Copies of this chain bind each other. A is one copy, B any other.
Amino acid sequence: MSGVARVSVIGASGYAGAIAAMLVDRHPFFALAHVTARGEAGQRLDDVHPRTRVRLELEAWQPDAQSDVDAALVCWPHGAAAPAVAALRERGVRVVDLSADFRLRDRGVYEDWYGVHGAPGLFGQAVYGLPELHRDAVRGADLVANPGCYPTAALLALAPLARAGLLGDVVIDAKSGVSGAGREPTAGTHYVAADENMTPYKVGRHRHTPEIEQELALQGAPVTISFTPHLVPLAQGELVSCYVAPARPHDPAEVEELYDDAYATEPWVELRTGPPGVLEVRDTNFCRLSVHTDPRTERIMVFAAIDNLWKGAASQAVQNLNLMFGRDEREGLW
């Protein structure tokens, strides 16, 4: 490919969209063509999100205005995203969709957890954009469904065990910073409510559950997981603590080897012997993880830390975009 690819960010006024726009804007290969927003159209992005330093003006969403771009990152909520994605695809624009609309493969499961789909004709057409699991498929894709933040961390933590037939009973206790709740001011995101507090939420009914189960099944482990997210008082950062009862006898050395094999050459996964802290991956595309076997309980424990807005959303979208355009997947992210 000669020249530079033009990329839009649709929904750039949210946290993930703003970071996505910043990353595209600073990218050596991509050029930021348009940024859109609903309520804040007409303002410059760096007035709404100073840290981006992106001086582009936010436009209202008009599908035809996007005809001149090569790709778009869609950062709208589920439900609203699907029709926008369809409109972009009709105009030949390659899309990474950050919503949940194209992540699931089973229409019934989607409807159970999310309701009616906004672009049924496209359902099932996307590649699930977790590059560490589906790199080759992403490379050729025109439509990539960017994974949810929790699934990103949980799947990187559990995929090696799933592939090796070791995944028995699974409990996932996940903790996320407040940016995960979105930019909308609510009672729960008020500083005084969130500060010095922590609490479980959506117990037994968080929508990332079927997404994790789908992908574990594709890796060979059709398990029903127990997944419980918690809100913790920090802005960005996500920690996923996975407690696994192994499905078969094994040697601790086998587990260690599985993770070494899976991640030794992955550019964005850092395997460590000690447990990770979320601050270590703040503002990066890294997933940092550790695996432990407990001789007392015979359980395998895996801890994975990511930045929920970066590897859990915006920077992973750019990692996918890099792959879709045949670039080094580290480009513009380091």
Contacts and interface: CB of A to CB of B under 8 A. Distances in A.
Contacts of A276: 199
A232 interface: yes
Contacts of A193: 279
A192 B175 contact: no
A287 to B, nearest CB: 13
Interface in A165-224: 169, 171, 173, 175, 177-179, 183, 185-187, 189-201, 203-204, 209, 224
A297 interface: yes
Interface stretch (A90-98, A135-143, A235-243): A235-243
A110 interface: no
A169 B194 CA distance: 32
A119 interface: no
Interface residues of A, number: 65
B296 A199 contact: no
Contact of A232 (B26, B198, B201): B198
Given A171-B243, A189-B185, A224-B296, A234 B204 contact: no
A278 interface: yes
A95 to B, nearest CB: 27
Contacts of A175: 175, 198, 230, 232
18 contacts: A15-B192, A171-B171, A178-B190, A185-B189, A189-B192, A191-B194, A196-B196, A196-B236, A199-B277, A200-B241, A203-B292, A204-B296, A204-B301, A226-B243, A228-B301, A232-B232, A243-B243, A283-B283
The 8 nearest A-B residue pairs measured at CB:
A185-B185, A173-B173, A199-B277, A197-B279, A50-B280, A178-B191, A204-B294, A200-B275
